[in-house]
Structure 1
């Protein structure tokens, strides 16, 4: 069960959260619409390679990653999007593309967009394409200790 590792971790740390089941959806914008969660509060995890090392870029569903800005802010020599074949083995208990933004559970760095860090609550995929977890951003930040940077831009219509 993909969500077990995450729920065990949250429970062990006495974190208040809710689980939200929804109809099958594969992209963050669809999930936001289905669950009636504002796109700014739904976190999507984008896998990137920074100087060849896998990392998570976490941003609101309604935003886009500015890769050049992230590269500049991290001081990386190279930064590129990772393809699914490069990271799917790192999350064996998760459906591809539904990994939660808890890089600390997978020994990888997490970069969070400043625009997401401004929210009181966040919701994110819980390892499947039909389940979310919603919790206080402050709890997420305390557990994951992400690097917060301004690397996202609002999606235009």
Structure 2
């Protein structure tokens, strides 16, 4: 039976994410979307919205962070990490993020024991917006503050999405 409350019912923004942001003494804004938007599959559409993907290279996992207007290029990512890579399925990685709804993993690999890679198209972005562990809560944060907290690796591993 489907969850009549939607995929984020009972979920809160992970405490470890809030502690990390507050501990970094950075300014951020929490954006809240009505729960019916998550229920109907609608998503927040704002400038700076980013996406995350879990990528595997051998026994190593990485968190790849991209702009939503770009597609992850696994061949380019493979060159960065020096070995063949593949996307992990949700079933393979969901245990890593017990405090997050699927599809709402924040771009903080450091909080989950993963090396974070950010596509270079994001480094000139003033602010980023990302799902904060739920499908109805997002956080807006300056890219420079994000970079200060996460200290991600940066590389070119996306292609502009064709319309």
TM-score (norm 2): 0.86
Is residue 16 of structure 1 aligned with residue 22 of structure 2? no
CA-to-aligned-CA distance 1:99-134 (integer Å, 9 cap, x gap): 101000111101100001120110101000111000
Q: Secondary structure at the match of 1:24?
A: helix
CA contact (8 A) 2:13 2:137 kept: no
TM-score w.r.t. the length of structure 1 is 0.89
Question: How far 1:25 sits from its partner (Å)?
Answer: 7.1
Between structures 1 and 2, the one with greater helix share:
1
Answer whether contact 1:25 1:129 (CA < 8 A) is retained.
no
Give the Å deviation of 1:13: 1.6
Q: CA, structure 1 residues 118+32, in 2 after alignment: closer, same or farther (shift >3 Å)?
A: farther
Q: 1:55 aligns with which of 58, 62, 74?
A: 62
Alignment correspondent of 1:146: 152
In the aligned structure 2, how far is the partner of 1:32 from the partner of 1:72?
A: 32
Aligned residues of 2:65 and 2:116 also touching (Cα < 8 A): yes
State the number of aligned residues.
Answer: 149
8 A contact 1:18–1:133 mirrored in 2:
yes
Aligned to 1:124: 130
Equivalent residues in 2 for 1:27-106 (5 A)?
31-33=43-45, 37-38=46-47, 41-76=48-83, 78-106=84-112
User: Is the Cα contact below 8 Å between 2:53 and 2:65 reproduced in 1?
Assistant: yes
List gaps (5 residues or longer) in structure 2. Answer: 1-11
* Higher CA-based Rg: 2
Q: 1: distance between equivalents of 2:75 and 2:104?
A: 24
Aligned-residue RMSD, C-alpha: 1.6
SS in structure 2 at match of 1:95? coil
> 1:67–1:79: 8 Å Cα contact kept in structure 2?
yes
